[in-house]
Amino acid sequence: MTRFALTIEFDGGPFFGLQRQENGPSVQQSIEEAAHAVTGEQVTLHSAGRTDSGVHALAMRSHVDIAKQIEPFRLMEALNAHLRPDPVAVIACEVKPDDWHARFSCLGRSYEYRIRNRRAPLTLEKGRAWHVAKPLDAEAMHEAAQALVGQHDFTTFRSAHCQSASAVKTLDRLDVSREGDAVLIRAAARSFLHHQVRSMVGCLALVGQGTWRIEQVAEALEAQDRSALGLNAPPEGLYFVAARYPDEE
Amino acid sequence: MTRFALTIEFDGGPFFGLQRQENGPSVQQSIEEAAHAVTGEQVTLHSAGRTDSGVHALAMRSHVDIAKQIEPFRLMEALNAHLRPDPVAVIACEVKPDDWHARFSCLGRSYEYRIRNRRAPLTLEKGRAWHVAKPLDAEAMHEAAQALVGQHDFTTFRSAHCQSASAVKTLDRLDVSREGDAVLIRAAARSFLHHQVRSMVGCLALVGQGTWRIEQVAEALEAQDRSALGLNAPPEGLYFVAARYPDEE
């Protein structure tokens, strides 16, 4: 068996998420079926992150084990041929040692959340960003976000369906910046809880709109209570952008 | 009558172009119908540019004349409400003098053409960029492009359906740059011939792939012959990005 690391880009819109689901199409199913078509093997895809329905990826990192003798470039090309017309593409493929694991070897994950902040509805970015019509103060959002950086119990920002053993996580970065009528939130951590980024973004948006004071984000964190959550931002603005591995540093 | 200048963003994918067409939906029809719904008036939309089927706009400039007393902000909001679910949005609206004309007052138009240059098919940018799998040399493309800047007879780069009285145009700028696996072409001129940007981009892509020598772009221009055209780039990579007016300089 050869372990192939795959870098995957996908539009999360038509999927019920990255992981296999009972109730609808998933990115994992698309790739496993493509791999079966290429190799005749039952292949399992392992990935750095689990993304929800509607969440996108610019560079999800995953791996598969394949017995068939095939060059990485040929595997990438063949997978992409079989993935059509699903909006999933393998943008890089390389051989890794057997102990390299897309999920367990991963040292850090990065997400970007895109808000379009204007009155007019979205056209080209429909399904690609969260449309917030009320003006957002990105500087206030950035200031509020800094209370979340560091090691904390993120119970407030965790989905009821989160399977993580502990709600204590270390957030390395949570930066908010404005570029024209776009507000971008960049988050990095070794790992995230289920819904953590969307929950944090939702509360920051309340600060940006003036609905919450800057200090209320810190207060919500300290409450360690899901009911203290202000708002869960919608999935269509969220992008998995990068994963870090020790052999690539 | 009050003259309202509209700034319009649209996804050209589902339209047969900006201008009204006999054979299918147009951006103009969508906006004129929305304006009729708002005002009860038969309104005609005038625009700085004419874009083909599939071509997008980030900030098309247009105007309409309306008798109904309405504030620009209310007009924008009402048009956007009626434009749903079409992927067209009025992103700005202001009153202009009666002699301000979106087309005839316009001093300059800018377009951007987006190429995604990689093996893998497009997912999030499907319909939003031209997918070119063969590696492109953006520096060679930029060098070749400079032969087109200035005043020339652009007959080679003109559609058979072009209605312009003269093929002599002055191209102010044609810049090619690479950003990761994206190759961006930025073009500016007082006005363009029909298909001019797509025709220029198509030939530059031939240079980028090594199919054409750099000098062949200048040779094609000098030929003043449509049959010297190498390739017309597809519409989905083209964006109308800005129009200049004397009162806004």
Quick: pLDDT tens for B34-75.
999 999 999 999 999 989 999 999 999 999 999 999 999 999
> What pLDDT, on a 0 to 100 scale, did the predictor assign at position A48?
97
Instruction: List Cα–Cα distances, B174 to A33, A130, A162, B35, B130, in angstroms.
Output: 44, 33, 51, 36, 18
Q: Which CATH architecture has domain B2-104?
A: 2-Layer Sandwich (3.30)
pLDDT digits (tens, 9 = 90+) for A214-241: 999 999 999 999 988 888 999 999 999 9
Task: Please count the residue pairs, one from chain A and one from chain B, whose beta carbons lie less than 8 angstroms apart.
Answer: 60
> What pLDDT, on a 0 to 100 scale, did the predictor assign at position B164?
86
**β-strand partners of A3:** A65, A96
Question: For a pLDDT cut of 70, what percent of chain B falls above it?
Answer: 100
Looking at CA atoms only, how far is residue A77 from chain B in angstroms?
7
Closest C-alpha among B122, B131, B4 to residue B61: B4
The residue with greater pLDDT, B162 or B224, is: B224
pLDDT surpasses 90 at B162: no
> What pLDDT, on a 0 to 100 scale, did the predictor assign at position A121?
97
Rounded Cα gap, residues A222 and A40, in angstroms: 52
Rounded Cα gap, residues B83 and B23, in angstroms: 20
Question: Chain A window 9-48: which residues touch B at a Cβ cutoff of 8 Å?
Answer: 9-11
Assigned token pair, B24: 């299918």
Rounded Cα gap, residues B36 and B44, in angstroms: 10
pLDDT surpasses 90 at A22: no
Altogether, the residues listed in chain A come to a count of 249
Q: Does A133 touch chain B (CB under 8 A)?
A: no
Residue B52 among the catalytic residues: yes
Mean pLDDT, rounded, for A190-197: 95
- Residues A229 and A203: beta-carbon distance below 8 Å: yes
Strands B2-10, B88-96: pairing is: antiparallel
Of B11, B91, B122, the CB nearest to A120: B91
Rounded Cα gap, residues A225 and B44, in angstroms: 56
**β-strand partners of A188:** A110, A173
> What pLDDT, on a 0 to 100 scale, did the predictor assign at position B21?
86
pLDDT surpasses 90 at A82: yes
Q: Does B167 touch chain A (CB under 8 A)?
A: no
DSSP class of A234: P
Which residues of B are documented as binding site? 111
* CB crowding B189-214: b at 16 or more within 10 Å, else e: beebbbbbbbbbbbbbbbbbbeebeb
pLDDT surpasses 90 at B243: yes
In this prediction, residue B165 has a pLDDT band, given cuts at 50, 70 and 90, of confident
Which residues of B are documented as binding site for substrate? 111
Mean pLDDT, rounded, for B96-110: 97
Mean pLDDT, rounded, for A171-185: 98
Residue to mutate among B55, B123, B134, with most A CBs inside 10 A, is B123
3 state SS of B189: strand
- Residues A54 and A236: beta-carbon distance below 8 Å: yes
Mean pLDDT, rounded, for A188-211: 97
Residue extents of the structural domains in chain B:
2-104, 108-244
Rounded Cα gap, residues B76 and B92, in angstroms: 7
Q: For CA atoms A63, A67, A72, A76, give the dihedral sign.
A: negative
Residues 6+ apart with CB under 8 A from B138: B176, B177, B178, B183, B208
pLDDT surpasses 90 at B209: yes
- Average pLDDT over chain A reads 96
In this prediction, residue A120 has a pLDDT band, given cuts at 50, 70 and 90, of very high
**Lowest mean pLDDT, pick from A40-44, B93-97, B117-121, B224-228:** B224-228
Kindly tell me the number of DSSP H helices and DSSP E strands found in chain A.
5, 10
Kindly report the backbone phi and psi dihedral angles of residue A201, in degrees, each rounded to the nearest multiple of 5, phi listed first: -60, -40
Question: What count of other Cβ atoms lies within 10 Å of the Cβ of residue A162?
Answer: 17
In this prediction, residue A23 has a pLDDT band, given cuts at 50, 70 and 90, of confident
**Nearest-Cα residue of chain B relative to residue A74:** B119
Of A56, A91, A121, the CB nearest to B120: A91
* Residues in chain B within 8 Å Cβ distance of A9: 120, 123-124
pLDDT surpasses 90 at B3: yes
Strands (E), chain B: 2-10, 46-47, 56-66, 88-96, 108-117, 130-132, 150-153, 168-179, 182-189, 238-244
Contact call for A87 and B120, based on CB within 8 A: no
> What pLDDT, on a 0 to 100 scale, did the predictor assign at position B236?
97
Assigned token pair, A23: 């109730």
* Topology match between the domains B2-104 and B108-244: yes
> What pLDDT, on a 0 to 100 scale, did the predictor assign at position B160?
82
Contact call for B124 and A9, based on CB within 8 A: yes
Which CATH number is A108-244 given?
A: 3.30.70.660
Kindly report the backbone phi and psi dihedral angles of residue B170, in degrees, each rounded to the nearest multiple of 5, phi listed first: -110, 115
Question: Chain A window 84-103: which residues touch B at a Cβ cutoff of 8 Å?
Answer: 84, 87-91
Contact call for B10 and A123, based on CB within 8 A: yes
Rounded Cα gap, residues B24 and B18, in angstroms: 11
Rounded Cα gap, residues B149 and B142, in angstroms: 11
pLDDT surpasses 90 at A160: no
pLDDT surpasses 90 at B163: no
Q: H/E element holding A73?
A: helix A72-83
Question: What count of other Cβ atoms lies within 10 Å of the Cβ of residue B123?
Answer: 21
Strands B56-66, B2-10: pairing is: antiparallel
Of B84, B118, B122, the CB nearest to A121: B84
Contact call for B89 and A120, based on CB within 8 A: yes
